[in-house]
C-alpha cells in the first residue's frame, strides 16, 4: 500500500530577477537580518543594497568552505548579541546550511553538540528557528528546500547533520541570474551534484509518485542543459534549467532520500578536504554501474532496474536505450566536464576500508536501491580513485 509524506519550504519563489523581491519578503519577518555568505562576501553587495533601501539592518558573516561547528557557534553569538530576527543564507549549499543551523540554534538553548547526530546527543529541536530566507547562488545542492544542515567537525574528522523538520527555510528564493557568473569548474561539479540528487531519489527505495514526477522533469532538464551551461556560462535558458534541476533535486532528496554516492560522499567529505560536488561527480558513474551489476544479479525483475532504464532514456533522450547506455552517457558527460578522479584530493586505495566502513553507516546508504556488499563498495570506490 502506498503511503508517503512530502514537506518543503513554506514558499518557493523562482525566476530570473527574483532577488529584487527579497526586501519586501524580508520585511514580513523583521528588520534585523544576519546574512551568511560564502567566502566572497562581495557577491552579496546587491542583496545588502536592496535590504538597506528598505531600512533592514544587516550583519554579514562569511563562511570559508563547508561550515564548521565553530562557524555556526560564531553566527549564533552574533545573532543573539545583535538581536537578529531573520537569517538569510546567500551562497552555495555551505552558506545556506550555515544559515539554517544558526537560525535553529539561536532560538534553542544549550550547546550545538546537544542536537548533532553521531558526535552529539541528537536531541530534537523544540523551539521554532528564526525565519530563514535561502538564496542559492550555485545550481547544485538544493539546500534551500532541505531540512538538514551538514556541518564539519575537523576535530572528529566527520561531517554530521543537524536535522529537524523545523529547519525547512520559510522562503526559498531561486534566481537563476545569480548563477550566471559561476566559473566553469564549479558549474560542472555542482551541476553533477544536482544530477546525482535527481537520479538517487528516483531509484531510491523510498521514492514516491510525487518525488518521481519531480525527478523525471529535473533529470530531463539537467540532461539537456548541463553540457550547454559548462560550454557557455552565459546561456540563460540552460542556467534556468540547472537552477530548476538543483531545486528539484533538493525537493526530491528531502522526501525520498539518496543512495550510495552520497553514502560515500559523507565520510569522504569529513576525512578529506574535498568539496561535496566534486566528490559526487567523481563517484556517480561508478555507483550507477555497481548498482546495475548488483541489480541484474540479485533483483533482475525488480522495480529498480526498470527505473535505471527510464533514467537512461531521459539522459540520452531516446526510448530505444537501456540502463547501460545511461552509465555511458554519464561517463561521457564527466569527461566533457573535466571531472577529476578522487585521488586529486589525496585519497588512495589504502583509505578504502575506513571509507567503506563509515559509508555503510551513512543514512543515504539505507535508501540505495540494493544493498551493496563491502567488497562491491570497495571496488566501486577504487574505480573512482
Ligand atoms: Zn549532494
| 280 CA to centre of ligand 1 in angstroms | 6
- Predicted pLDDT at 42: 86
- Predicted pLDDT at 158: 86
- Predicted pLDDT at 163: 93
- Predicted pLDDT at 292: 98
Residue in the structure block whose three cell numbers are 545583535 = 82
User: What burial letters (b/e) apply to 364-381, b meaning 16+ CB within 10 Å?
Assistant: bbbbbbbebeeebbbbbb
Mode of pairing for the β-strands spanning 132-136 and 171-174: parallel
| 141 CA to centre of ligand 1 in angstroms | 6
| 279 CA to centre of ligand 1 in angstroms | 9
Closest CA to 127 of 173, 76, 161: 76
Per residue of the chain (385 residues), give pLDDT as tens: 789 999 999 999 999 999 999 999 999 999 999 999 998 888 899 999 999 999 999 999 999 988 999 999 999 999 999 999 999 999 999 999 999 999 999 999 888 999 998 888 889 998 999 999 999 999 999 999 999 999 998 888 888 889 999 999 999 999 999 999 999 999 999 999 999 999 999 999 999 999 999 999 999 999 999 999 999 999 999 999 999 999 999 999 999 999 999 999 999 999 999 999 999 999 999 999 999 999 999 999 999 999 999 999 999 999 999 999 999 999 999 999 999 999 999 999 999 999 999 999 999 999 999 999 999 999 999 999 9
| 93 CA to centre of ligand 1 in angstroms | 9
| 224 CA to centre of ligand 1 in angstroms | 20
| 24 CA to centre of ligand 1 in angstroms | 31
| 350 CA to centre of ligand 1 in angstroms | 25
| 323 CA to centre of ligand 1 in angstroms | 22
- Predicted pLDDT at 156: 86
Tell me how far apart the alpha carbons of residues 182 and 138 are, in angstroms, rounded to a whole number: 7
| 135 CA to centre of ligand 1 in angstroms | 17
Tell me how far apart the alpha carbons of residues 329 and 28 are, in angstroms, rounded to a whole number: 46
Burial class (CB in 10 A: 0-12, 13-18, 19+), 49: exposed
| 196 CA to centre of ligand 1 in angstroms | 7
Residue 191, CA distances (Å) to 158, 182, 188, 226, 379 in order: 24, 11, 5, 7, 25
| The three grid cell numbers given for residue 23, joined into one nine-digit string | 526586501
| Residue-level length of the chain | 385
Sheet strand arrangement including 171-174: 11-14, 171-174, 132-136, 86-91, 32-37, 57-62
Closest CA to 289 of 319, 267, 268, 312: 312
| 274 CA to centre of ligand 1 in angstroms | 13
Burial class (CB in 10 A: 0-12, 13-18, 19+), 186: middle
Tell me how far apart the alpha carbons of residues 164 and 112 are, in angstroms, rounded to a whole number: 13
Closest CA to 149 of 171, 132, 137: 132
- Predicted pLDDT at 109: 81
| 258 CA to centre of ligand 1 in angstroms | 9
- Predicted pLDDT at 250: 98
| 209 CA to centre of ligand 1 in angstroms | 21
DSSP assignment string, 192-240: HHHHHHHHHHHHSTT--HHHHHHHHHHHHHHHHHHHHHHH-TT-HHHHH
Closest CA to 308 of 322, 293, 328: 322
In this structure, what are the phi and psi dihedrals at residue 12, rounded to the nearest 5 degrees? -120, 125
| 253 CA to centre of ligand 1 in angstroms | 9
| 378 CA to centre of ligand 1 in angstroms | 20
| 114 CA to centre of ligand 1 in angstroms | 25
- Predicted pLDDT at 232: 97
| 262 CA to centre of ligand 1 in angstroms | 6
Which residues face 153 on adjacent strands? 158
| The three grid cell numbers given for residue 116, joined into one nine-digit string | 548533532
| 198 CA to centre of ligand 1 in angstroms | 10
Amino acid at each position: 500500500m502506498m503511503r508517503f509524506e512530502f514537506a518543503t519550504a513554506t514558499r518557493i519563489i523562482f525566476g530570473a530577477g527574483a532577488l529584487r523581491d527579497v526586501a519586501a519578503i524580508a520585511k514580513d519577518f523583521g528588520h534585523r537580518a544576519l546574512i551568511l555568505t560564502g567566502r566572497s562576501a562581495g557577491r552579496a553587495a546587491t542583496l545588502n543594497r536592496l535590504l538597506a533601501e528598505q531600512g533592514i539592518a544587516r550583519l554579514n558573516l562569511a563562511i570559508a568552505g563547508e561550515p564548521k561547528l565553530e562557524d555556526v557557534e560564531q553566527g549564533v553569538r552574533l545573532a543573539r548579541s545583535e538581536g537578529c530576527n531573520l537569517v538569510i543564507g546567500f551562497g552555495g549549499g555551505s552558506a545556506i546550511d550555515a544559515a539554517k543551523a544558526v537560525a535553529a540554534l539561536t532560538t534553542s538553548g544549550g550547546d550545538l553538540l546537544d542536537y548533532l547526530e553521531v558526535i552529539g546527543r541528537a536531541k530534537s529541536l523544540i523551539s521554532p528557528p528564526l525565519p530563514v530566507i535561502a538564496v542559492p547562488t550555485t545550481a547544485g545542492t538544493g539546500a534551500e528546500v532541505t531540512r538538514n544542515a551538514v556541518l564539519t567537525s575537523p576535530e572528529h574528522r566527520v561531517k554530521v547533520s543537524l536535522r529537524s523538520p523545523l529547519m525547512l527555510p520559510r522562503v526559498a528564493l531561486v534566481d537563476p541570474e545569480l548563477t550566471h557568473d559561476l566559473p566553469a569548474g564549479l558549474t560542472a561539479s555542482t551541476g553533477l551534484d544536482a544530477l546525482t540528487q535527481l537520479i538517487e531519489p528516483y531509484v531510491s527505495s523510498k521514492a514516491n509518485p510525487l518525488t518521481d514526477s519531480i525527478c523525471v522533469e529535473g533529470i530531463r532538464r539537467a540532461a539537456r542543459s548541463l553540457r550547454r551551461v559548462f560550454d557557455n556560462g552565459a546561456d540563460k535558458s540552460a542556467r534556468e534549467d540547472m537552477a530548476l534541476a538543483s531545486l528539484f533535486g533538493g525537493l526530491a532528496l528531502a522526501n525520498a532520500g539518496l543512495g550510495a554516492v552520497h553514502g560515500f560522499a559523507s565520510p569522504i567529505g569529513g576525512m578529506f578536504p574535498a568539496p561535496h560536488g566534486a566528490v559526487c561527480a567523481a563517484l556517480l558513474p561508478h555507483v550507477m554501474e555497481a548498482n546495475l551489476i548488483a541489480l541484474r544479479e540479485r533483483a533482475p525483475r525488480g522495480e529498480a532496474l526498470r527505473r535505471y532504464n527510464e533514467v537512461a532514456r531521459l539522459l540520452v533522450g531516446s526510448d530505444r536505450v537501456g540502463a547501460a547506455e545511461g552509465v555511458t552517457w554519464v561517463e561521457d558527460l564527466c569527461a566533457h566536464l573535466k571531472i577529476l578522479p578522487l585521488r586529486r584530493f589525496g585519497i588512495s586505495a589504502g583509505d578504502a576500508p575506513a571509507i567503506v566502513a563509515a559509508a555503510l553507516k551513512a543514512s543515504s546508504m539505507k535508501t540505495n536501491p540494493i544493498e551493496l556488499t563491502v567488497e562491491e563498495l570497495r571496488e566501486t570506490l577504487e574505480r573512482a580513485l
